[in-house]
A and B are shown apart, each in its own frame.
Chain A
């Protein structure tokens, strides 16, 4: 196990260097003045321009720029947003909210996937299976902002069951609607994984043995089938959790959840290029780290992975 952890961590080193280099390259090696380009049709004042030029070390050759940028990144100096707050502070303030929303959404997504996937697998080819398949496909196809707006309009505005925007009150009762939207947009893949593994597990010898020794279905299904079908769903949901933690940009934006994604959303729609770049860099790094953790979780749950 230790060897696997070490190997997986070593594999991540070139990925971390590569992803940050790629983003940095895209922004600063393009022809023209990168700082002016980041502002789009606006023009920054001289003070802002100088501060950014200093932050990104634009007077140095490109590779030195990148090296210094990485040094800043790993010493926690992530630059400042347009309103003058440091990116690190903004992250510290917004991250707990995103974490809470992601946890709510994944709890819901996981329960939906396990319950619907289990029954769809047990009733393969029957009506329930086909209905969940169609619902899953529709949810997979609806773009998240469409789902968000529909939920906001019907559930919150028209029927008044939830508040249309979250604002500063981030209690569970105030955030359930965006969590439901996120869960609905994610549960399809997990549900179909669950369905597939349940069908596969049900045809295994140990399940037949369990039935043959006289155990009733109400014991075989939860103890033998369900438990042995959970691994892929758990890891897929963990990966989804990673996606949400780096920010459900659009959903947080629509429901005005004061999280990481919303900060990026606001920066994008206001055209604040430098903030977008620092946030995306931090998010991509977080995403890489979470993916490593998911792989390790997979190895803990399923020992076969370690020897693959």
Chain B
């Protein structure tokens, strides 16, 4: 009986090596580059990004957009006047140019929004990170503290703070009043994310190699649980801008001498029947800005959270 020929399969039996090969000259894929690639395909991303950039430019260099002064040359003769040559949006009750005021108001809204978000971000990250990573009594104390701040609607809290600080109303105090009460949800989100991350082997490895627990938290655990924080902060920027406008509208936000969309809308409400456009223009700018930030936040969340993408 002839022995069957000993068959030796070729190394690349199905010629799949090309598929399996690790491509060394290609950049390794990671969460951020994946997210960027998926963002680049969404037309809405460009629309909201360009809107945000225009608003930021407007805040930094208002003179690029208008050469008319928003406060000087206000003629009462023009009070509530309609659009004329060089004044495309008409005049306010005080006879100031609506377009110029709207352009200059972007700075205030953006400043309060960014500051308040930064404050709530810093407080929320510190509280959430310590509570989640150290556990035990640290967690109990910080989480109960978070529950308290979580139970106060932050507009109401800011109303109280700003009523008490009536003599010290400024962009800074307003940002503290908003941000100081808005951090609790962020702390909760980060805490649960850290609880998930901290059982990973790389955390134990880091401690085993002699890093202190705090240094492990800062250099390994936090970077791996920061994604939901970024998503939350992008989304809450829009909320902070709305909060500024609402408080200014209620008269407990910025002093009326400060130009802001909230103040302008508040001042225009008495002329709602006679000159509605003086109210509608700043409202449109406010809404479009908030919409751009919220859309950007939603898209970033979709891009960073592949599970949500699959569900959606």
Contacts and interface: CB of A to CB of B under 8 A. Distances in A.
Interface string B232-256: 0000001000100110011110000
Interface stretch (B125-133, B143-151, B192-200, B205-213): B143-151
Interface string B149-171: 10111011101110111110000
A41 B250 CA distance: 17
Given A34-B164, A37-B166, A199-B311, A280 B159 contact: yes
Nearest to B295: A137
A142 B280 CA distance: 12
A19 B153 contact: no
Contact of B249 (A11, A34, A145, A152): A145
Contacts of B159: 264, 268, 276, 280
Contact of B163 (A149, A199, A276): A276
Interface stretch (A52-60, A215-223, A284-292, A300-308): A284-292
Interface residues of A, number: 51
B298 interface: yes
A97 B242 CA distance: 27
Contacts of A34: 164
Interface in A122-159: 124, 137-138, 140-146, 149-150, 152-153, 157
Interface in A252-308: 264-265, 268-269, 271, 273, 276-277, 280, 283-284, 287-288, 291
A34 B160 CA distance: 12
Given A137-B294, A283-B156, A287-B153, A26 B283 contact: no
B291 A137 contact: yes
B250 A284 contact: no
Contact of B160 (A40, A150, A277): A277
A185 to B, nearest CB: 11
A280 B181 CA distance: 14
B309 interface: no
Contacts of B148: 14-15, 18-19, 22
A141 B287 contact: yes
A146 B166 contact: no
Contacts of B279: 149, 153
B261 to A, nearest CB: 9
Interface string A76-94: 0000000000000000000
Interface string A41-55: 100000000000000
B83 interface: no
Interface stretch (B22-30, B219-227, B268-276): B268-276
Contact of B290 (A124, A143, A280): A143
Given A22-B148, A146-B283, A38 B238 contact: no
Interface string B70-108: 000000000000000000000000000000000000000
Contacts of B167: 37, 40-41
A250 B262 CA distance: 13
Contacts of A243: 153
Contacts of B291: 137-138, 141
A137 B288 CA distance: 11
Nearest to B235: A140
A141 B290 contact: yes
B115 interface: no
Given A15-B151, A18-B144, A143-B246, A280 B160 contact: yes
Nearest to B293: A141
10 contacts: A34-B164, A41-B167, A196-B312, A246-B156, A249-B250, A264-B159, A273-B163, A277-B160, A284-B153, A284-B156
Interface of B: 144-145, 147-149, 151-153, 155-157, 159-161, 163-167, 238, 242, 245-246, 249-252, 265, 269, 272-273, 276, 279-280, 283, 286-287, 290-291, 294-295, 298, 311-312
